[in-house]
Amino acid sequence: MSAAYPEQRVPPRLDDLAAVILAPTSALSGPDGQIRPIGAQGVFHADHRVLSRAVLLVDGLEPEAVAYAPGGPGVARFVALARWLGDEGPDPVVRIERLRTVTGQGLREEITIISSAAGPLAIDVSLALGCDFAPMEKVRSGFAGEPASAVSQADGALVWRGPGGVTTTVVGEDARAKAADDPRLAWQVALAPGGRAVLRWSAGVTDPGAVVIAATGPAEWSEPEVRADDRRLAGLLRLSLDDLRSLRMADATAPGDTFIGAGVPWYLTLFGRDSLWTARMLLPLGTELAESTLRVLARRQGKATGVHSGEAPGKILHELRRGEYTVTGRGGRIRLPPVYYGTVDATLLWICLLHDAWRWGMPEQEVAALLPALRAALGWLGGDADPDGDGFVEYVDEGGLGLANQGWKDSPDAVRFHDGRQAADPIALAEVQGYAYEAATGGAALLDAFAKPGEGDRWREYAAALAARFRDRFWVDTGPYGPLPALALDRDKRPVDSLTSNIGHLLGTGLLSPEEEGRVAGLLAAPEMSGGFGLRTMSARDGGYNPLSYHCGSVWVHDTVIVITGLAAAGHHESAADLARSLLDAAEAFGHRLPELYAGDDREPLGRPVPYPTACRPQAWSAAAAVSIVNAVLGVRPDVPAGRVALRPLAGAPLGALSVRGLRIAGADVEAAVDAAGDGSLTGLPGGLTLT
């Protein structure tokens, strides 16, 4: 272990930080706005911390924080007081407002000092600075970087130079700059009675080796207007769309194609699974983000076979980094190459997104352009996805340095039997078989429409055979729950008999019969699964359950909303509504910014969800979940190629009346509504589409 990263294994907390983001730059501070050289605080650009300290001092003291509020994508305001200054008496007379704006290539701040004192004030203001260029994976593993040296330039700028040509430049307007052992900017401020002073500084980042860059232009989705009896819906959707705008990024090799970075701070880059699910959830607001996400991932689709990278022909990547990514933690050590393909489901989800986007009205020429990538992805499904030839999609980390588990629950201990034992790989996950069925049938429909006749037949036959095999091998009736689909098959093809949220992802894929969907819906509605603020990842009756386990008892927002969508599509409206209300309760507790995950505790005795300390916030698919909740309530299900749009709102309007103007079908803005009696309406459909 190097001296730069002394031994420290506990990952730093995120739940108590204020995050201001415009990807690929993020600023994480305390709620007071101060950036201290501790934990995960800092200004990050992609995978490096480019400022580790930015502490504001007034006469050598830190102001007392009193308020913080986000102000939209990349903007936040912090309010503090200097109660030791000014007139005698209990009332504060000196107020400091700190407006922070993250730009995507750095940040700038405007510090306003306001006096209501009866007499003049002379104040020394300084900003103590520091930079360590710590790689993100080191910060995530709980290590602190060694401070880098600053250089003062003739124009008064302070400059830090880091690895790979990354450079941080700090400039203070009308400030004195000091570079030596204690880098800082300093101002002398004279305030007249009732006066104010405005101080400005900025930090710019140069990153010649960037693999992801800031997106340009407006967001790729509509801006819906929401009127709702449950006012939490509008608040959640508004802040969620702000967060999604702040997470927009582009591939440095194709700046015109945008995707959504997975989450702040650990995953602010291209992730196949996360970016695909996010684009899929946003389809009710337009297909443009889906189109660009599909292109970005197709551009890096696997061509060769690599043991360490997990690459295979036709496979969609898991994550993209600027260099090798090494993480050391309690789960062991992983070492991932810059382009890593260790995901069992991203390729299937890519096909599903292409199919769904086509149904929502993705232009035919855009779909046709991706036909070669579709064929390659289906080729992976029919070949390398099933290395042992048993007819199921499975994974194994052959290189031994990648992810041991490669479904969305990718922590080392995520796949457990009912008694708590861990399953050994190769592992075939239940939900992945559902994705495979859906990808095969969706791929067949696309081939029917865009390829030669009969090309889709192979994949319909594949899907039918998979459904029969799944029914034969995955359904078990040996534990305390009665018949249920197993979480997985392990190395010895034994069903992993725990009850988990994974089986909820099967709803709506077509893999299950209506009776089987009813059985799954009933299992998920039980208190041991739905007794908290959302759907638990594992039943409270299972031996591996822990409400603060990353994947074995916690609640994940995207996981819950995928199940809500499936329940609604399968007609289990009451269960869908119960889970939707649980997420809205959680959103209210988290200030309408839902984190990546939180604890799976019962709703009582605290009455609010317990944060998971290292959860990303904001996080892409948690933010996109707001759109899925709204559309599950409204029940808008288009099939543009077939010329029809179905409208099936949740029965009985369980969240009250709801009207949304600005949903987008086939490029046209439409308005969908459900009244207090549960009757739905849809207006503004483009010509050629019929409402059913």
CA-to-CA distance for 145 and 135, rounded, in angstroms?
8
Phi, psi of 195 (to 5 degrees): -90, 175
> Do residues 523 and 499 lie in contact, with contact meaning Cβ atoms separated by under 8 Å?
yes
Give Cα 631 distance to the centre of its chain.
Answer: 19
How wide is the angle at C-alpha 127 spanned by C-alphas 124 and 129, nearest 5°? 150
CA-to-CA distance for 367 and 125, rounded, in angstroms?
57
Pick from 216, 175, 596, 247: which is nearest to 408 by CA? 596
In DSSP terms, which residues pair with 465 in a beta bridge? Answer: none
Q: Three-state SS string across 170-213, please?
A: EEECCCEEECCCCCEEEEEEEECCCCEEEEEEEEEEECCCCCEE
The DSSP output letter for 294 is: H
CA-to-CA distance for 371 and 447, rounded, in angstroms?
8
Question: pTM of the predicted model, to two decimals?
Answer: 0.96
**Residue 544 CB-density burial (10 A; 0-12 exposed, 13-18 middle, 19+ buried):** buried
> Do residues 132 and 52 lie in contact, with contact meaning Cβ atoms separated by under 8 Å?
yes
pLDDT in tens, 261-292: 999 999 999 999 999 999 999 999 999 999 99
> Do residues 583 and 629 lie in contact, with contact meaning Cβ atoms separated by under 8 Å?
yes
Query: Residue 659: CB partners within 8 Å, gap ≥ 6?
Result: 226, 227, 228, 671, 672, 673, 674
Question: Which has the higher per-residue pLDDT, 86 or 551?
Answer: 551
C-alpha pair distances (Å), 515 with each of 148, 165, 655: 63, 60, 27
516's tokens: 């089987």
> Do residues 674 and 653 lie in contact, with contact meaning Cβ atoms separated by under 8 Å?
yes
pLDDT in tens, 635-688: 999 999 999 999 999 999 999 999 999 999 999 999 999 999 999 999 999 999
Sign of the four-CA dihedral 391, 394, 396, 398: positive
For residues 305, 272, 145, 203, the Cα torsion angle rounded to the nearest 10 degrees is 130
pLDDT tops 70 at residue 331: no
489's tokens: 């098959």
Mean pLDDT in residue range 247-268: 96
Phi-psi region of 50 (alpha: psi -120 to 50; beta: other; left: phi over 0): alpha
Question: Which has the higher per-residue pLDDT, 328 or 224?
Answer: 224
pLDDT band (50, 70, 90) for residue 1: very low
pLDDT band (50, 70, 90) for residue 330: low
Mean pLDDT in residue range 374-397: 97
Q: What is the mean pLDDT of the chain?
A: 95
Give kind and range of the element (H or E) at residue 11. none
> Do residues 77 and 71 lie in contact, with contact meaning Cβ atoms separated by under 8 Å?
yes
CA-to-CA distance for 361 and 146, rounded, in angstroms?
52
Residue 2: the pLDDT is 39
The domain ranges of the chain are 18-210, 213-674
Class of domain 213-674 as given by CATH = mainly alpha
CA-to-CA distance for 133 and 148, rounded, in angstroms?
7
Give the SS3 label for residue 139: helix
Give the SS3 label for residue 524: helix
Phi, psi of 531 (to 5 degrees): -85, 0
Pick from 349, 416, 344: which is nearest to 384 by CA? 344
How wide is the angle at C-alpha 162 spanned by C-alphas 157 and 166, nearest 5°? 80
Residue 366: the pLDDT is 98
Give Cα 251 distance to the centre of its chain.
Answer: 17
Which residue shows structure tokens 């707001």?
626
Give the SS3 label for residue 572: coil
CA-to-CA distance for 441 and 456, rounded, in angstroms?
8
Residue 181: the pLDDT is 86
> Do residues 14 and 618 lie in contact, with contact meaning Cβ atoms separated by under 8 Å?
no
Residue 332: the pLDDT is 66
Residue 479: the pLDDT is 79
Which residue shows structure tokens 């409400």?
547
Superfamily of domain 18-210: Glycoside hydrolase, family 65, N-terminal domain (2.70.98.40)
Mean pLDDT in residue range 432-460: 97
Sign of the four-CA dihedral 601, 606, 607, 611: negative
Cis peptide before 426 (omega within 30 of 0): yes
pLDDT in tens, 454-510: 999 999 999 999 999 999 999 999 878 999 999 999 999 999 999 999 999 999 999
Q: How many CB atoms lie within 10 A of CB 108?
A: 16
pLDDT in tens, 119-136: 999 999 999 999 999 999
Give the SS3 label for residue 424: coil
How wide is the angle at C-alpha 678 spanned by C-alphas 673 and 680, nearest 5°? 35
CA-to-CA distance for 140 and 366, rounded, in angstroms?
39
Buried b / exposed e over 638-676, threshold 16 CB at 10 Å, is bebbeeebebebbeebbbebbbbbbbbbbeebbbbbbee
Query: Residue 372: CB partners within 8 Å, gap ≥ 6?
Result: none
> In what order do the strands lie in the sheet containing 53-58?
53-58, 121-130, 184-191, 176-178
